[in-house]
Amino acid sequence: MSTPQNTRDSLEFHHTSLHDSAAAVASSMNVASSRGTGNPGAYEFSYLKIVFVVVLFVVSLFSFVTQTELTSLLYSAYGFNEPILLLYLTHGSWWLLWPLQFLSIGVFKSVRKFVLHQRGYTPVDGRRWKGLRRAFASSIKAQHQNIFHTAELTAHSNIGDYEIRYKDPRKSFRKYSQFFRSTAIWYVFKMSALLSLILNVAGVTWFLAMSLSTGSDVTAIYNCSAFTAYIFAIPILKERFSWIKANSVITAIAGVFIVAYMGKSSSGGDAADPDAGTGTAYPHRLFGNFIILLGAILYGLYEVFYKKWCCPPSELVSARRQATFSNFIMCLIGINTFFIMGIGMLVCEVSGLHHFQIPTHGKALLYMVTSIISNHLFSVSFLGLMSLTSPVFSSVASLITILIVGLFEWLFRGIVITFYQIIGYILIIVGFGLLTYASWSEISQEDVDDDYITDTESTYSTASSQMA
């Protein structure tokens, strides 16, 4: 006779798939929301997807602010003047994200299976334990099968004559050589190469502007990419024009410009930078602002093309798989950046055109490493947010960073927030609120319970559970 403890452990073992658990929760929540309306045919929304969006939004806010402030300190306090090197170290290390993800998941699942095996529990499907190495390899292959299937869906939605080879993701490639040679993977690799080019040119403008202008100005103007993203989204993504969305973007952008250009102190200095009025701290501030404006245009284009080229159809793919696939795309962008920029920088170094110097001061090096890690967190959360919603919403959502930067500089650096800045912050919040209202159907639409698989040697059997 089984004890309550054994029953509880057995149930836990039978449901080792995180996706199945999440899908069950999402399904129950959707049923509850439908019952709440009293109409079975009413619009259902996913609480799980809303949680995804909120978490990614919060992480993107604070990681972007951290990166901005640390980069500003690196330039102003330690005399660091290597924007190209910093860009290369930041975007060129994106390739680490996908290996870190599938390795950590593989280790976690393998160890968990091993612990349950040691306790004497048998998988539902009756498969015997074949060792840690086999369990780890199974988890790694399952994750790549999900990526392969998502890449096929993405290629099919963008290439007119592309036919999906494997309808069932569990019966896809047998060897990893098939994975890397497949048309779908090569498609997303080529598209990520183009995205890498656009992103890195925009990134160069950000790092250059940070050495020429104030952190608040750069944050404000760079986030104007929301406006260009909306302009590009209409013809490229075939997004229907909405007066509410247009007014929300314009309202938020108006707040940005009030913060950037009307936040002046009575002495004529910038509220975001007291030294700017004397011209000693940032003598080339206007030129820096012009550079970052070009970056904002390019970044808006990058966001729209990312959504167009590298995002699978949301009606076919779950929120979890979309977020996972965005990390894979980031890895491909990082690979392109690592080699393309690396070759160019090597030529400059060998030819003597420029000698790149990494900070030697311990604190400066710590700031640089933390800034790079913050960028990784921001990029992961931002691309995930863009995959789940839209480029316009994610861009306007990032405008909230201006408010966070202002509060940070007021609390920790003693920079006074002026009346005009407060007005600008209010307009940004109003614009974001309007866009959230207009985009609510995109944010909260019911999540898809797709064919996301966890292991080729699964410890959870849907058929067995239904027969039990």
Q: What percent of the chain has pLDDT over 70?
A: 78
* Most confident segment among 167-171, 348-352, 382-386, 458-462: 348-352
Structural domain count, the chain = 1
- AA identity, residue 322: Q
Q: Is residue 260 part of a domain?
A: yes
pLDDT recorded at residue 6: 43
The pLDDT tens digits of the residues spanning 263-283 come to 654 334 444 444 444 355 778
Inform me whether the pLDDT recorded for 322 exceeds 50: yes
88 confidence band (pLDDT: 50, 70, 90): very high
Cα 174–chain centre separation: 30
Is pLDDT of 220 > 60?
yes
Is 69 in contact with 215 (CB distance < 8 Å)? yes
Give dist(CA 243, CA 359) in Å, integer. 49
pLDDT of res. 346: 95
Full residue range of the structural domain in which residue 223 is found: 37-452
- Does residue 12 form part of some domain? no
pLDDT of residue 98: 94
Residue 7 covered by a domain: no
Long-range contacts (CB closer than 8 Å, 24 or more residues apart) made by 41-48: 43/441, 44/446, 45/444, 45/445, 45/446, 46/319, 46/444, 46/445, 46/446, 46/447, 48/22, 48/319, 48/447
Does residue 36 sit in helix, strand or coil? helix
| Diameter over CA atoms, the chain | 83
How far from 285 is each of 190, 263, 338, CA to CA, in Å?
37, 15, 30
User: Which of the four pLDDT bands, split at 50, 70 and 90, describes residue 389?
Assistant: confident
User: Could you tell me if residue 468 is inside a domain?
Assistant: no
Domain assignment of residue 13, yes or no: no
- Does residue 33 surpass a pLDDT of 50? no
Task: Write down the pLDDT at residue 446.
Answer: 54
Q: How far apart are CA 295 and CA 312, in angstroms?
A: 26
In a domain, 374, yes or no: yes
Nearest to 450 by CA among 329, 328, 319: 319
pLDDT of 406-457, one tens digit each?
888 788 878 788 898 899 889 988 988 888 887 776 665 555 555 555 554 4
Q: Is the pLDDT of residue 13 over 80?
A: no
The answer as to whether 310 is a domain residue is: yes
pLDDT at 195 over 90: yes
Query: For 361, which DSSP code?
Result: S
| Cα dist from 280 to 213, 216, 269, whole Å | 11, 17, 11
What CA–CA distance (Å, rounded) separates 256 from 403? 10
How far, in Å, CA of 44 to CA of 31, rounded? 8
Q: Which residues pair with 264 in a beta bridge?
A: 270
Q: What is the mean pLDDT of residues 330-336?
A: 96
Please give the residue that has the higher pLDDT: either 1 or 411. 411
H-state helical runs in 38-82: 47-78
Per the domain annotation, does 26 fall within a domain? no
pLDDT value of position 451: 55
Cα-Cα-Cα-Cα torsion 342, 343, 349, 354, nearest 10 degrees, comes to -80
DSSP letter at 96?
G
Residues 110-140 have pLDDT tens digits of 898 888 888 877 776 667 777 888 889 988 9
The pLDDT of residue 450 is: 57
**Angle in degrees, 0-180, between the axes of helices 183-212 and 285-310, rounded to the nearest 10:** 170
pTM of this structure: 0.77
Q: What would you report as the CA-atom Rg of the chain, rounded to the nearest whole angstrom?
A: 24
pLDDT at 192: 96
How many residues comprise the chain?
468
Q: What is the mean pLDDT of the chain?
A: 79
